A and B are shown apart, each in its own frame.
Chain A
């Protein structure tokens, strides 16, 4: 098993390399010029093309893509993510203060997704084709099909502007930077939105997995033995039904990250998602590469962790067998 995970980790590095190579190439080939993107046409009209070329040269943007990529990679291996061409600050310094807001938002969302998705998925399965099942399915489909920014804006107006029960966006109220309750109040709406949006698919998977298990022979056997309904449900059905859900949870991470980009923009939440929008708008390839590297690593890590958790909960799965 150790060997398997060692191999997985090594492969992850190769995949990460591939991700950065593709991302770097695509970003370099994308239309738009990072030098010109920064300049107001009003200023541009006063600059000669020699001055523009000079700026491009200073930023190292006049070299061929493979050489630029090589330099970037060599720097990254030495722990240097480079500098944002827009702000001139080190990328690590740009991303550092944004990690915690992003992590808190994502953790809160995962908790909401689990707390909402799992029990409701089970309820749905137990009462398959009952009214509660239909109601929950309708809510799920509504959550899956409504764009996150619409949900976010509606929630902002309902809970923030009209009812005034929650603050309207931002990380904290100015002047209350150290007030933990204030921070939680600010976290509640974006976290809940992101969590609910991701609770919906989790609920569908839980329901499907549970329905399958509930109709399996060993559940029928357990019932036939005369075990109480709750015991069958919790000890026999649920344990087995949750195994595939663990994998789903691992693969929800990319969705969560993608959702966070939108949620952070709507709520002015100063996380990595908002940073990546900034970077894309500004044509700041180095900054965007930094975000891609971190997010890519996080997603790969989460899938390894999911595999590992899978093997722990399900004794039938042993990755080394057959070698």
Chain B
């Protein structure tokens, strides 16, 4: 008996250890696989010439490379590696730098832009880049503007763009001065045109490869599908391998016009589950990660080889009301929500300070004359009784996959109930949420998360569609006049005047309660250096990737 027992013990131990060390491969001994993972762990494997930067952005990715299919922040980062835009921005997401346009002139009224293109630029297949490629990209974009499924380019702002839609006519607002100079005339003045141009929806694509592509077949061509050798840009990295939903391999383009990139290879990994990415950050199998779960902040911060950054989020968490329906149509009721929710309390206690309370969409300044709506239950009750609120249930819809929803939503509910507002939480799966959002059924208000409003107040306009059938349904005509006025002048003081009035209107009417902006967590290995810096809008971080170094 004694002997048998020890055999069982030994067998269990051997099986567990053996199985975990590769039971079927005797050669994969602990030492050899440890060596393998150590070299995978990023120690300079052999020579500096083989250094690989392994990256993950822990959000959805979409497997396409033509701007018509540009729908996710992951693609934004890939496109910035493979392609170029006319201009780029620095890490403040505002200050412009040159790209395919070496210099540019702007007319005083911000309606005519002249671009002087960089010289000696080549497509990755060796063909020269010329003004014709820019003309092709902008013209095709305007002619097929409704083919863009996700984020939209700026080409529809050029003069006469509406007239060339679904035609093969040239775009009137586009003029080729010579082989390296192009003039763009806008339909309406827009002082933000250059910043908007930096969006990856406006990458310049090769005419010689795409001239026969139509809106009908653009989804199916090799260029769009990410086939190495077919997906060609002018950017610092060439696409050398792509496995949909899994990984993207980029190799330095030695002929890049701003100089060859210093890191020879970049691998973008796509994760089904963020837990594994966090484990790989810890083990050294991942060098750079965006949008890491905030709950991992403390643990990862303690690791010596990682830089962990908790950065301001350009997006926002907000309650959007259905303003067309009583009693939520009364602005006093909506203001009562502001007073009733202890936003600072949620930020301090739940987010441990790693979030920012807001009184406006985040791109706006917090002007002194705005109501801060400090937490005040009595004031909330007073406003509700003034408005004649009689206990109607507020159905608050949210997507249960939103970060922190399970913890934060009950806090919001409790605060509102405390002020006398009856709240029913309606957690939904993403698809049903989207459906109810569209049909405006099943909610009196919903939680919206994310966006990029912090970059400029102009970005918030999209959350107030004029048709009154989306978002809050709030359609005060004055707000559209103010947004248009701000765009029509390059004078910052005049823009600020418009934005100030806008901020006051939104602050007073409360079509949405702006709760807070939770920080985003980004993690990078300390070996990553050179010009690397996480942008305010983190998806733009790869705009200067050719200057990064990896030790």
Chain A residues engaging chain B, CB cutoff 8 angstroms: 31-34, 36-46, 48-49, 51-52, 87-89, 94, 97, 108, 111-112, 115-116, 119-120, 123, 127, 130-132, 135-136, 139, 153, 155-157, 159-161, 164-170, 173-176, 181-182, 184-185, 187-189, 192, 195-196, 264-268, 270, 274-275, 277-278, 281, 283
Contacts and interface: CB of A to CB of B under 8 A. Distances in A.
A97 B242 CA distance: 13
Can you list the 5 inter-chain pairs with the closest CB atoms, starting with the nearest? A32-B431, A36-B434, A192-B19, A188-B22, A37-B431
Nearest to B246: A270
A181 B28 contact: yes
B462 interface: yes
B33 A185 contact: yes
Contacts of A127: 1, 4
Given A52-B438, A173-B36, 10 more contacts: A36-B431, A45-B463, A51-B146, A87-B244, A135-B9, A139-B12, A160-B37, A169-B280, A174-B249, A266-B273
Interface stretch (B465-473, B479-487, B496-504): B465-473
Looking at chain A's contact residues, the main secondary structure is helix
A37 B62 CA distance: 13
Given A31-B431, A88-B219, A88-B220, A43 B151 contact: yes
B50 interface: yes
10 contacts: A31-B432, A36-B438, A42-B462, A44-B434, A45-B463, A46-B462, A135-B9, A160-B37, A167-B285, A169-B285
A281 B54 CA distance: 25
A310 B109 CA distance: 86
A164 B280 contact: no
Contacts of A277: 272
B71 A270 contact: no
B283 A136 contact: no
A166 B431 contact: no
A267 B462 CA distance: 39
Contacts of B272: 264-265, 268, 274, 277-278
B273 A268 contact: yes
Nearest to B33: A185
Contacts of A175: 50, 52
Nearest to B276: A169
A184 B5 contact: no
B23 A115 contact: yes
B27 interface: yes
Nearest to B146: A51
B1 A130 contact: yes
B432 A32 contact: yes
Nearest to A174: B267
Interface in B46-77: 50, 52, 54, 63, 71
B285 A123 contact: no
Given A164-B34, A175-B50, A112 B23 contact: yes
B11 to A, nearest CB: 7
Contact of A36 (B9, B24, B225, B435): B435
B150 interface: yes
B188 interface: no
A187 B25 CA distance: 10
B127 interface: no
Contacts of A108: 24
A176 B5 CA distance: 43
A40 B148 CA distance: 14
